[in-house]
A and B are shown apart, each in its own frame.
Chain A
Amino acid sequence: MEGAGENAPESSSSAPGSEESARDPQVPPPEEESGDCARSLEAVPKKLCGYLSKFGGKGPIRGWKSRWFFYDERKCQLYYSRTAQDANPLDSIDLSSAVFDCKADAEEGIFEIKTPSRVITLKAATKQAMLYWLQQLQMKRWEFHNSPPAPPATPDAALAGNGPVLHLELGQEEAELEEFLCPVKTPPGLVGVTAALQPFPALQNISLKHLGTEIQNTMHNIRGNKQAQGTGHEPPGEDSPQSGEPQREGQPSASDASTPGREPEDSPKPAPKSSLTINFAQKAKRQNNTFPFFSEGITRNRTAQEKVAALEQQVLMLTKELKSQKELVKILHKALEAAQQEKRASSAYLAAAEDKDRLELVRHKVRQIAELGRRVEALEQERESLAHTASLREQQVQELQQHVQLLMDKNHAKQQVICKLSEKVTQDFRHPPDQSPLRPDAANRDFLSQQEKIEHLKDDMEAYRTQNRFLNSEIHQVTKIWRKVAEKEKALLTKCAYLQARNCQVESKYLAGLRRLQEALGDEASECSELLRQLVQEALQWEAGEASSDSMELSPISEYDEYGFLTVPDYEVEDLKLLAKIQALEVRSHHLLGLEAVDRPLRERWAALGDLVPSAELKQLLRAGVPREHRPRVWKWLVHLRVQHLHTPGCYQELLSRGQAREHPAARQIELDLNRTFPNNKHFTCATSSFPDKLRRVLLAFSWQNPTIGYCQGLNRLAAIALLVLEEEESAFWCLVAIVETIMPADYYCNTLTASQVDQRVLQDLLSEKLPRLMAHLGQHHVDLSLVTFNWFLVVFADSLISNILLRVWDAFLYEGTKVVFRYALAIFKYNEKEILRLQNGLEIYQYLRFFTKTISNSRKLMNIAFNDMNPFRMKQLRQLRMVHRERLEAELRELEQLKAEYLERRASRRRAVSEGCASEDEVEGEA
């Protein structure tokens, strides 16, 4: 806390406080070794630190507080404490995810740091300091993001050898920053280590929020001081103020109590005067300087004269009135005299005259009196009217006076104008006029105010420009960081996918191992098998646990795949559950591994492919599988190639309306199968889905399109797959037509399913040729493959293969035809040949064949077997085999019919021999 003492009086006395004191450049930098903090700062030469005011607090104590900010490179944290010398920061700001902002319309030096959790408003002493800070913060943030990540944990290294290499191009783009904002020079004395030595405010800045830290810091400083005193390292001058300090700060509770009261005093901080206001004031002063010189004397003279004249007039009027009043007085005097005469006369009369005369006289006098009374009244009236006119005059006078005042004002204004003009004239004499002399006064005034405005706008513009430049750089920086982070994320995702794939593989291998063990142990109820059971149970439960707890999973095994099929087949038997899980894991690992290496290039090739034209290249592409986004388009094209000749516009609608008019005999069966189509697909099980309705219409339309077939169980699956891919029902209908009427041989779905049965025999022949060992093995165990393969052919694997492989098979099948079905049927056996050969029991083999198609997860491997390992595979051979077997089958059927007939014959004859009374049920059957 050294140094606090000498500044304490200054900072507590002046409200502006810390800001000003920090700005004061006169404070000489004291020696470096003055405090332990300064020493530690010295060790890091390029440290970003300095005093800033931070806006904070709540309610009445809201306001600016000076804080010492310093940046920690390792953590990308901006710490702040009350003073540079404090040992523990009050708090920190995480810059790694912060954005910076400065507002043009805010006070100078104010800027904001926004982190996801809060916004910190800070104020630097000057604009330059603010820009310096902003730029430094940006730089630090960039450095942090650009720096190589912390060395990973050891297991990472082991994996790095196998995984895709994470290659992050961390390009240096510092130069770009300068496009936006040229580097701000370090404001001298305001930031950096030297700023720590700036005087800082005393206790009133104490942070209430971080009181604990404050107390700690205080204690630390006290301790530090004591130590320093003990060693006697400090120069004596700096020691002296300390002695008083510790006592004051030694009682944090006291300072704590006093702070809230004191806090508001320094919160309202006078804004630094902007250059604009200063300009204004100066201009005003300049104008005033020239003004009073002319005008004021004149105005004063003028008004006096006018007043005198008016008063004189008034005096005149009043004297007139006075005269008339005097006259009146005179008249009254005369009257009085006459009355006195009269009185004298009457007293004479009283003295002398006799009664009669007296009476006469009295009467006469009474008359005279009345006469006089009347006259008095008349005079009185006259007087009143005169007084009235006098008041009227007075009013007039007042009005006139007002008028005079008005004129005087006008005069004054004019004089002012004259003054200004003369000033202007003098100016113009000095500086030759450079503008049109027209209406010089108005123009001048305009000019002045506009200049002010321009000045103002320039100021604004400057501010906005800085802000804009800063924000541009901020945007640039943030974008850069974002890009980098996105890159990192992508790399991590790839790595994750790879690791997940590996994990899946390992897990599936583990499960497979468990299964083998289980099989090997057989039914022996030993401790081992109990343990195994437990392990299997656990393994099966993993998935559920993972799914619920691990919400952050990157590419979880979703319940349904892209086309809505359940990803984990719902096997009911316990040991098959394990298999199902193994299979799901395998599928996923292949999917994850294939994403980058296989799917991407394929996708690119498909994207580059323009119009679809039959070609060898297209054939290869179709065999590899069409990416999902291209599949509907490609299928439509493939179907069109095949049904062009059957296609007439409106045909589908017509078939539909035919179905509405009359019920097809197949309608009942279609209806029965509708809800049983793909119970493992959400599009067909969801009650609100439109797919079952579409499927009904497609199948009904087909039953009319091809009355000989009508509806055959299995067509529902074909149509459903078409619907899932093409979505639109008419396209799906044509797809069904293409398969049944153009791809498959005739009689494939008709009443006897002859062609389908023929194909099973053809397949057996082909299997014997391509996989002789397997066929021998199956023969040995009396396994009839056609029980299993019949379904494959009838519905083109729709029930057997997992959807992503199934649709690839269909991609090639729609283009190349039934050959593809044979190829894949052979490939499926080849793929699992070893496994089948391992099984030494017909039942086990059957059981295995029940689900083994669904365990195929590596579509590329299967495809390679189908199209490479099974070569040569010639259409001619296929046709020939089909012909041979068809003949044989038909012969067999004929033979069967014959046997049937013979049997009936035999029975009939036998029955004839038996008594006629007991008619057997058989006869009823025969009729049914």
Chain B
Amino acid sequence: MMAIRELKVCLLGDTGVGKSSIVCRFVQDHFDHNISPTIGASFMTKTVPCGNELHKFLIWDTAGQERFHSLAPMYYRGSAAAVIVYDITKQDSFYTLKKWVKELKEHGPENIVMAIAGNKCDLSDIREVPLKDAKEYAESIGAIVVETSAKNAINIEELFQGISRQIPPLDPHENGNNGIIKVEKPTTQASRRCC
């Protein structure tokens, strides 16, 4: 029997960049032009196989508007990974991304995996953010980066597969209660440092 690991993932990024759409595409393989803007947070799960493990993603989608940032610690607290999304057609959203990275570095869980998603790559003809910039930046902070399109289902699976690969494999000694290991606990303790 394969071990199931529950991985808390939160999505961060400017409002309207397509966070909810990415989650929707990943979990339901569905795209809706008018997804209701998230307030507070919305929560979804999806299980994907990774090596000899099953990764169950618990995805917390957050509100994008600036003033909701104060709520963000609630969401990234205990997260194994954070997907930070920008819109390749909006330079502003790339700046916001950098702010999020900074906040995560300052207050987030210590070993949090960061994945950068340049969304709306189907609109590359009105692109404002060059892929090169994103790649350079990601490299500088040790994050994975992909350009995605929730609309056309480009690189969405790959994004989460990339995260899966970055999650360190289980320490077999810690394998306790019937194969289900919560990564939540240790990271929560790690984050207690700041909140």
A positions within 8 Å CB-CB of B: 572-573, 669, 672-673, 675-680, 685, 712-714, 716-717, 749-754, 757, 782, 784, 786-788, 790-791, 794-795, 799, 842-843, 846-847, 849-850, 892, 896, 899-900, 903-904, 920-922, 924-926, 928
Beyond contacts A572-B27, A716-B37, A753-B67: 5 other A-B pairs, Cβ-Cβ < 8 A, are: A672-B16, A673-B37, A896-B107, A921-B141, A926-B102
> What size tier do the contact residues of chain B reach?
35 or more
CB within 8 A of A896: which of B15, B60, B64, B195?
A: B195
Counting chain A CB atoms within 10 Å of each CB, the highest count among B71, B95, B137 belongs to: B71
In angstroms, Cα B36 to Cα A676, docked, is: 5
Q: Does A787 contact B75, Cβ atoms closer than 8 Å?
A: yes
Contact between A669 and B65 (Cβ–Cβ < 8 Å)? yes
Chain A contacts of B65 at CB under 8 A?
A: 669, 712-713
- Residues of chain A within 8 A (CB-CB) of B170 are none
The answer to whether A925 touches B99, judged by C-beta atoms less than 8 angstroms apart, is yes
**Chain B residues in contact with chain A, CB under 8 A?**
6, 15-16, 24, 27-28, 30, 32-37, 39-45, 56, 58, 60, 63-68, 70-71, 74-75, 95, 98-99, 101-102, 106-107, 137, 140-141, 182, 184, 188, 194-195
Decide: A753 and B71 in contact? CB cutoff 8 A: yes
State in angstroms the CA–CA spacing of A669 and B68 once bound together. 13
Docked-complex contact A843 and B56, CB < 8 angstroms = yes
A847's partner among B15, B34, B35, B45 (CB-CB below 8 A) is: B45
Asked if B36 and A678 make an inter-chain contact with CB atoms under 8 angstroms apart, the answer reads: yes
Could you tell me if B102 and A676 are in contact, using CB atoms closer than 8 angstroms? no
B184 touches A782 (CB 8 A): yes
Most chain A CB within 10 A, of B58, B106, B182, is at: B106
**One of A676, A716, A892 near B34 (C-beta < 8 A):** A676
A896 touches B45 (CB 8 A): no
**Chain B residues near A896 (CB-CB < 8 A):** 107, 194-195
Nearest-neighbor residue (CB-CB) of B100 within chain A:
A925
Chain A residues contacting B39 (CB-CB under 8 Å) are 713-714, 717, 790-791, 794-795, 799
Given contacts A676-B37, A712-B65, A752-B70, is CB(A900)–CB(B58) below 8 Å?
A: no
Least CB distance, B97 to chain A, in whole angstroms: 10
Q: How far is the CA of A842 from the CA of B15 in the complex (A)?
A: 28
Q: Which residues of B contact A784 (CB under 8 A)?
A: 74
- The secondary-structure label for the interface of chain B is mixed
Query: CB within 8 A of A925: which of B56, B63, B64, B98?
Result: B98
Complex formed: what's the CA distance from A791 to B30 in Å? 24
- The answer to whether B36 and A925 touch across the interface, beta carbons within 8 angstroms, is no
**With A757-B71, A846-B58, A896-B195 known to touch, is A676 a contact of B99 (CB < 8 Å)?**
no
* Nearest B-chain residue to A751, judged by Cβ: B67
Given A669-B15, A673-B37, A850–B68 Cβ distance below 8 Å? no
Distance between A917 CB and nearest chain B CB, rounded to angstroms: 15
Q: Which residues of A contact B27 (CB under 8 A)?
A: 572-573
Cβ-closest chain A residue relative to B106: A903
Contact, CB under 8 Å: B30 / A572: yes
30 CB-based A-B contacts, threshold 8 Å: A572-B27, A573-B28, A672-B15, A676-B35, A676-B37, A679-B34, A679-B35, A680-B36, A713-B15, A713-B39, A749-B67, A753-B67, A753-B70, A753-B71, A757-B70, A782-B188, A786-B74, A787-B41, A790-B41, A791-B39, A843-B56, A847-B45, A850-B42, A892-B195, A899-B107, A899-B194, A900-B107, A921-B141, A926-B102, A928-B99
* Inter-subunit contact B71/A790 (CB<8 Å): yes
Quick one: closest B residue to A921, CB to CB? B140
Contact of B45 among A750, A782, A843 (CB under 8 A): A843
Please name the residue on chain B nearest to A752 by beta carbon: B70
Q: Which one of B32, B40, B71, B106 lies within 8 Å of A788 (CB-CB)?
A: B40
Given contacts A672-B15, A782-B184, A791-B40, contact A900 B106 (CB under 8 A): yes
Taking CB atoms, residues of chain B closer than 8 Å to A920 are 140
Determine the chain B residues whose CB is within 8 A of the CB of A673 once the complex forms: 37
Q: What is the CA–CA distance of A787 and B41 in the complex, to the nearest angstrom?
A: 6
Within 8 Å CB of A922, what residues of B? 102
Rounded to whole Å, the gap between the CB of B70 and the closest CB of chain A is: 5
CB proximity of A695 to chain B, nearest CB, Å:
13
A926–B103 Cα distance when bound, in Å, is 11
Q: CA–CA, A896 to B77, complex, Å? A: 14
Whether A843 and B58, one on each chain, are in contact in the complex, defined by CB atoms closer than 8 angstroms, is yes
Residues in A whose Cβ lies below 8 Å from that of B182: 842
A787–B60 touching, CB < 8 Å: yes
Check if B74 sits within 8 Å of A787, measured CB to CB: yes
Contact partners of B6 in chain A: CB under 8 A: 843
Bound-state CA distance A782–B77 (Å) is 12
Contact A921 B98 (CB under 8 A): yes
Residues on B with C-beta less than 8 A from A750 are: 67
Check if A677 sits within 8 Å of B36, measured CB to CB. yes
CB distance from A30 to the nearest CB of B (A): 88
Given contacts A753-B71, A925-B102, contact A847 B43 (CB under 8 A): yes
Report, nearest first, the 5 A-B pairs whose CB atoms are least far apart. Answer: A791-B40, A790-B40, A572-B28, A925-B98, A713-B65
Chain B residues lying within 8 Å of A752, measured Cβ to Cβ, are 67, 70
Distance, CA A470 to CA B125, complexed state (A): 84
Quick one: closest B residue to A849, CB to CB?
A: B43
Within 8 Å CB of A672, what residues of B? 15-16, 37
Interface centre among B36, B58, B194 (most CB of A within 10 A): B36
Instruction: Report the separation of the CA atoms of residues A788 and B101 in the bound assembly, to the nearest whole angstrom.
Output: 25
Q: Which residue of B lies closest to A673 (CB)?
A: B37
Q: Which residues from chain A contact B102 at a C-beta distance below 8 Å?
A: 922, 925-926
Contact A675 to B34, CB < 8 A, known contacts A750-B67, A791-B39: yes
Closest to B73 in A: A896
Closest to A710 in B: B67
Is B68 a contact partner of A925 (Cβ separation < 8 A)? no
**Residues of chain B within 8 A of A924, CB atoms compared:** 98
Q: Using CB atoms, name the residue of chain A closest to B29.
A: A572
Residues of A within 8 A of B184 (CB): 782, 842
Find out whether the CB atom of B95 lies under 8 angstroms from the CB atom of A928: yes
B158 to chain A, nearest CB (A): 22
CA distance A920 to B71 in the complex (A): 28
Given the complex of chains A and B, what is the CA–CA distance between A920 and B102 in angstroms? 12
Which residue of chain A has the shortest Cβ distance to B41 in the bound complex?
A787
Chain B contacts of A754 at CB under 8 A?
70
Q: How far is the CA of A572 from the CA of B65 in the complex (A)?
A: 26
A186 to B195, CA, bound (A): 102
Cα distance, A75 to B16, chains bound together (Å) = 71
Q: What distance in Å separates the Cβ of A191 from its nearest Cβ neighbour in chain B? A: 75
> A850, B70: Cβ atoms under 8 Å?
no
CA distance A790 to B58 in the complex (A): 19
Contacts of A573 in B (CB 8 A): 27-28
